[in-house]
A and B are shown apart, each in its own frame.
Chain A
């Protein structure tokens, strides 16, 4: 909640004025019944049948009040809507930025479906809540206070009777809405589960259909759907209690007022006209209390969502930057010194990895599934920090380099990398300001140009979401073009050519060494042919280096390497 205030603070002035406007509008609404009671109690008895004009004068005043109320209420509502949408927009924007800045470990922990739900479902709820709070939430307490004040001015004794019921009522509403927050929070968690299920079905639809598991998926979803629905039901049933209870308590207070009023009239302390006015104000007070409990209802829903949003916003910066240092002249471009790493600080994924890489050189990384190849890449990009050892970039610790600077100098393709629903050109540019010739050059080297030119519109061909309208090999070639388009100093390819046939793969390797000769390359592969030409090949198994050297050296020295080569080529050269 505290965090939320920082979003509201810039609008203090704006909202203060809104409150004033709303206040005037509300007062006008309140004045009208007051004027009616005045008319019946004082004006009517004082006029005669022949001179009714004062009554119409007063009527005119009332219409005027109504007009002022109209102007004020509309203006206040518009301002509130604007305010709510501005705050939500900022909140959503910050949340998006924050999510992009989270470390890989944090994203793993929060999970993508839950982040998606927080970005969407939760921010809608907050928007709705802000609107309600400042629209009804302002009006309701103002009406309540105004109503109470006016009843006090008319008949303090009767007013006190009714006011006496307010504190216990307030307590009751608070308890209910607190409980509501908890229930709504639980409900939002169920929303996460639903989002996860839908995403799952989306990505797996082919398998689901192929295995004829549609019914089973439906059953799964039914369960998810039902738990979500039950938790919503429960939250609704609990928070729904506050409304009938509020109106009951107030109505009973009101009955007491009439009974007591009879006695007061009898003793000459009050007049029936005042009781009538009282009844009018009473309905205002009743409505405002109901309005308040409505606000509390939204508030408890909103608070649950705000909690989930701020949880993300308050994630601590995990990848701290060491004080920056100068690049060391003559140091290797990229160096790993005895690096060890584990995701959970228990089971080691990489152990004691060392290598160095100069510009213009290629480092090949070869290893079986689960050997830690992709983790090594993640460390190079500083998605994680190593548990032990050092990673040096131009002679200085990677942790001391501004990630923006480092990342601007590299090109990377991950396994199953990301393509967006946009043109081929945009997917290669990836928001960088690169010239079209550079894009074309990269596409040529990536062996993508031939198929791009065949597409309707060429580089303007639109991909559907995740590049689904391309084949696996075409996707990889677009990704390769992206990686090379900026003529990076460091090119990292994590199994980036696995869907390419050998011929295309060979052409790709030739093109890279021709056109991007000055780049340092890291090539992760499962095929010996993809790394054969590398200056140094790192053979990983179970997170350890089992061989390191050139193709020829490894063939003669490394048993495992020989075995891999034999399995793929059927020959030992």
Chain B
């Protein structure tokens, strides 16, 4: 298999971080609290080594005579102070922890919610191309990455900066000479880290993309598991999965090795070297009598606080790379062009009569492949239009245009004399109710699924609709009746029954136009006859568009459009068309052959 090109585009650009900061800015209060807590708890932590240095000096050891003149009062005062500061610092750090978790969660929640909302606003065509698994990976794995590293890292940067500057000044106060050592090592660490993080960036991008693809493939294959089993092709598909699995694991591993695996120890090495130098220089200064042992002890503790964060920076930079690629994927999805926005002067749609006119409509799903070549059609309010023709002839296209899932390349469509692209989409779609060939039911209960058709539908409404659709008795046989949950795979509900549920759902809707797109193709003809009355009631007074290949269902339409290769080749009533002895007549006859 070749690489898929169907993944949603990846958001490029430097402002990923800026955009993330935008989210941080929206929770200013918490962020400021977190900052305050960081500064104080780290300030307190810096006091510790100072106090312990003081305490050690208070021991007053004379290395020449090897005797000590301990000032116990001072030692214990300093120790008590130490204890106090440590308790405060621990309390603050837990408070900080909680604040941070709440902060990050509110950011992740917002981004995830926005990403999902955005997803729903994308044009339908986007869903035909994109894999659910890839989107799931963006909303779970990539969001997790953002969750784990964004706010935490910012905090870490703040903490580290404070620690670095704080300990720098403390060391400066103790011995400016010894500080010289760092002039050598710090630029080295910084340069190395920056260089390295630039190099690993593409690796993390690759890693996120590979995982997305793997999960897309997983989702796809699991949804086809039944077929794979039926053909006994488990092994072959397992091999294909194996290949992708290996790729994804490899890129995960490489990114890991090149970033955290190398960077951390390297910076640690530089730090160790500076520690060795400080030790040596310190020893020399001790010999020269410039420093006391207590000074050296404090200096070494501070130097750890100084180099530790620098070490930390290198980890953060590696992390930021993975954060960046995750955020790019999430934002990339959020930046897909949504359905063209409603016209600014869009007027709300009032009472709809239901007159529809197609004027010279040209359309094609792909550029250069036009399938509607200038369709003209006038549908009177309350009449029924049937669209028939061979499969793949472009019957569904008309519906896609009517509902504005797609817009025509040229020409216009009018509803009650108003071009539909000047109407708010929501109003336009609300004017229709539709039953599609592909049934779709959501996860909730049976009752919830039917009630989906109208806001605030009561249980009585739901049952009435179910009765009208002829599914009431079936529902009662379900384990929990109307409260049975429609879980994935819904093993006890056949396609036909699902279709009846969706018919019940549209029975609840009070729209003035109805689209039946192969609505009864999954329902057997006897059942169909049983619900025919209900269907007729559903159609009453509505402008109906009926797409069907079973010609018996369309004979009574006011107008039948015969569509072939996107063109309306014949138009008229059943009788007229039969008399014509054209394409329709031959289709009609063939069903009895």
Chain B residues contacting A65 (CB-CB under 8 Å) are 272, 276
B564 to chain A, nearest CB (A): 11
Q: List chain A residues, Cβ under 8 A from B116.
A: 198, 201, 218, 221, 225
Closest chain-A Cβ to B31's Cβ sits at a distance in Å of 17
CB pair A469–B128 under 8 Å, yes or no, is: yes
B458 at the interface (CB under 8 A from A): no
Please determine whether A211 and B525 come into contact, CB atoms closer than 8 angstroms: no
Known pairs A47-B287, A127-B252; A266 contacts B120 (CB<8 A): no
Add 4 more A-B contacts to A69-B269, A112-B223, A499-B521 (CB < 8 A): A77-B260, A210-B433, A229-B108, A503-B586
Task: Answer yes or no: B140 CB below 8 A from chain A CBs.
Answer: yes
B218 at the interface (CB under 8 A from A): yes
Of the candidates B67, B140, B260, B265, which one forms a contact with A120 in the assembled complex, judged by CB atoms under 8 Å apart?
B140
Interface string of A463-505 (1 = CB under 8 A from B): 0111011111110000000000000000000010011111110
Q: Which residue of B lies closest to A224 (CB)?
A: B116
Determine if A244 and B90 form an interchain contact, defined as CB atoms under 8 angstroms apart.
yes
How many chain-B residues does the 8 Å CB contact rule pick out? 185
Contact A107 B232, beta carbon cutoff 8 Å: no
B275 adjacent to A62 (CB under 8 Å): yes
- Whether A62 lies near B276 (C-beta < 8 A) is yes
Contacts of B264 on A, CB cut-off 8 Å?
73, 77
| Chain A, Cβ-Cβ closest to B219 | A116
Residue pair A100, B238 in contact (C-beta under 8 Å): yes
- Bound: A563/B528 CA distance, A: 12
CB atoms of A120 and B133 under 8 A apart: yes
Write out the residue numbers on chain A whose beta carbons fall within 8 Å of the beta carbon of B260: 77, 135
Does A194 reach chain B (CB closer than 8 Å)? yes
B70 close to A279 (CB less than 8 A): no
With both beta carbons as reference points, the residue of chain A lying nearest to B236 in the complex is identified as A431
User: Which of B12-20, B424-432, B537-545 lies at the binding interface?
Assistant: B424-432
Chain A positions 97 through 136: 1 when the CB is less than 8 Å from some CB of chain B, otherwise 0: 1011110100110011101110111001001000100010
Contact status B477-A66, CB under 8 Å: no
Within 8 A of A (CB), among B169-190: none
Q: Name the 3 nearest CB pairs between A and B, nearest first.
A: A473-B391, A369-B496, A418-B224
Bound Cα distance from A104 to B563, whole angstroms: 41
The reply on B408 being an interface residue by CB < 8 A is: no
Question: Complex: how many Å from CA A406 to CA B231?
Answer: 9
Q: Which residue of chain B lies nearest to A104 when distances are taken between CB atoms in the complex?
A: B226
Is A370 within 8 A of B592, CB to CB? no
User: B222 to A115, Cβ gap below 8 A?
Assistant: yes
Q: Assess whether A206 is in contact with B509, with CB atoms less than 8 Å apart.
A: no
Q: Is B155 an interface residue (CB 8 A)?
A: no
B52–A279 touching, CB < 8 Å: yes
Q: Which of A93, A502, A504 contacts B245 (CB 8 A)?
A: A93
Give the dominant DSSP class at B's interface.
helix
User: Within 8 Å of chain B (Cβ to Cβ): is A338?
Assistant: no
Q: Which of B529-560 contact A (CB under 8 A)?
A: 529, 549-552
Query: Which of B289-297, B353-361, B373-381, B568-576 forms contacts with chain A?
Result: B289-297
Q: In the complex, A117 Cα to B278 Cα: how many Å?
A: 52
Contact partner of B218 among A120, A135, A275, A370, CB < 8 A? A120
Residues of chain A within 8 A of B586, CB atoms compared: 503
Instruction: Collect the chain B residues with CB atoms within 8 Å of residue A403's CB.
Output: 232
Residues from chain A with a CB closer than 8 A to the CB of B227 are 412, 414, 417-418, 430
A81–B215 CB distance below 8 A: no
In the complex, the answer to whether A113 meets B442 with C-beta atoms within 8 Å is no
A-B contact pairs, 16 of them (CB 8 A): A35-B276, A77-B257, A82-B257, A93-B242, A100-B221, A108-B491, A120-B136, A124-B141, A202-B127, A206-B436, A258-B56, A272-B61, A369-B497, A370-B496, A471-B392, A564-B526
- A212–B120 touching, CB < 8 Å: no
Q: Is A258 in contact with B280, judged by CB distance below 8 angstroms?
A: no
Partner-contacting stretch, out of A4-12, A174-182, A232-240, A438-446: A232-240
**Chain B: which residue is nearest A501 at the CB level?**
B549
Q: Is A247 an interface residue (CB 8 A)?
A: yes
> Taking the complex as formed, is B79 at the interface, i.e. its CB lies under 8 A from any CB of chain A?
yes
How close is A454's CB to chain B, nearest CB, in angstroms?
9
- Residues of the B chain whose Cβ atoms lie less than 8 Å from the Cβ of A62: 272, 275-276, 279-280
* Cβ-defined contact, B237 with A431, below 8 A: yes
Residue of B whose beta carbon sits closest to that of A451: B392
How many angstroms between the C-alpha atoms of A66 and B132 in the bound complex?
Answer: 49
CB distance from B244 to the nearest CB of A (A): 10
Which of A143-151, A420-428, A549-557 lies on the face that meets chain B?
A420-428
- Determine whether the beta carbon of B496 is less than 8 Å from that of A207: no
Say yes or no for B352: interface residue by CB 8 A criterion.
no
Q: How many angstroms from the CA of A473 to the CA of B437 in the assembled complex?
A: 11
- Asked whether A39 and B108 contact (CB < 8 A) given A78-B261, A85-B250, the answer is no
- CB-defined interface of A37-80 with B at 8 Å, one 1/0 digit per residue? 00110011101110010011011001101110110011001101
Q: Is B405 an interface residue (CB 8 A)?
A: yes
User: Out of A52, A214, A347, A411, which one reaches B477, CB within 8 Å?
Assistant: A347
- A255 lies within 8 A of B86 (CB): yes
- A351 at interface (Cβ–Cβ under 8 A)? no
- In the complex, which residues 326-378 of chain A have their Cβ closer than 8 Å to any Cβ of chain B? 343, 347, 367-370, 374
Q: A203 at the A/B interface (Cβ < 8 Å)?
A: yes
Q: Which residues of B contact A73 (CB under 8 A)?
A: 264-265, 268
A271 cross-chain contacts in B, Cβ below 8 A: 61, 63, 66
Say yes or no for B249: interface residue by CB 8 A criterion: yes
From known contacts A74-B261, A570-B552, infer whether A255 and B82 are also in contact, taking CB-CB under 8 Å: yes
Residues of chain A lying within 8 A (CB to CB) of residue B67: 268
What does the 1/0 interface line of B342-367 toward A look like (CB < 8 Å)?
00000000000000000000000100
Known contacts: A84-B253, A501-B549. The answer to whether A205 contacts B124 by CB under 8 A is yes
Least distance between A308 CB and chain B CB atoms (Å): 14
A119: min CB distance to chain B, Å: 5
* A contact patch SS: helix
Is A569's CB within 8 Å of the partner chain B? yes
The yes or no answer to B256 lying at the interface (CB within 8 A) is yes
B191 at the interface (CB under 8 A from A): no
- Shortest Cβ distance from B339 into chain A, in angstroms? 9
Q: B587 — which chain A residues lie within 8 A by C-beta?
A: 501-503
Q: Which of A532-573 contact B (CB under 8 A)?
A: 560, 563-564, 567-571
Q: Once the chains bind, are A66 and B273 in contact (CB under 8 Å)?
A: yes
Q: Using known A-B contacts A59-B280, A240-B97, determine if residue A97 contacts B238 with beta carbons closer than 8 Å.
A: yes
Is A164 in contact with chain B by the CB < 8 A criterion?
no
- Of the 9-residue stretches B98-106, B193-201, B414-422, which lies at the interface with chain A? B98-106
Is A166 positioned at the interface, with any CB of B under 8 Å from its CB?
Answer: no
**Does B527 belong to the interface (CB within 8 Å)?**
yes
Per-residue B-contact encoding for A256-297, CB less than 8 Å = 1, 0 else: 101101110110100111011001100100000000000000
**Which B residues lie within 8 Å of A40 (CB)?**
279, 282-283, 286, 293, 296
- Contact code string A188-200 (vs B, CB < 8 Å = 1, else 0): 0001001111111
Tell me the complex Cα distance, A120–B483, Å. 31
Is B4 in contact with A421, judged by CB distance below 8 angstroms?
A: yes
CA distance A410 to B518 in the complex (A): 30
Which residues of chain B are near A135, meaning CB under 8 Å? 260-261
* Docked-complex contact A120 and B215, CB < 8 angstroms: yes
Q: How far is the CA of A209 from the CA of B405 in the complex (A)?
A: 8
Asked whether, in the complex, the Cβ of A416 is within 8 Å of the Cβ of B128, the reply is no
- Give A52 to B587 CA distance when docked, in angstroms: 106
- The minimal Cβ–Cβ distance linking B467 to chain A, given in whole angstroms, is 16
Q: Which residues of chain B (479-530) have a CB below 8 Å from chain A?
A: 487-489, 491-492, 494-497, 499-500, 502, 509, 515, 518, 521-529
* B29 contacts the other chain (CB 8 A): no
Query: Is B453 located at the chain interface by the 8 A CB criterion?
Result: yes
Cβ distance A262 to chain B, nearest Cβ, rounded Å = 4
Min distance, Cβ B104 to any Cβ of chain A, angstroms: 8
Q: Is residue B109 within 8 Å, beta carbon to beta carbon, of the partner chain?
A: yes
The answer to whether B231 and A206 touch across the interface, beta carbons within 8 angstroms, is no
Chain A residue at smallest Cβ distance from B339? A209
Q: Which residue of B lies closest to A488 (CB)?
A: B231
Known A212-B429, A502-B549: A206·B124 in contact at CB below 8 Å: yes
In the assembly, what is the distance between CA of A82 and CA of B72, in Å?
Answer: 55
Closest chain B CB from A475 CB (angstroms): 9
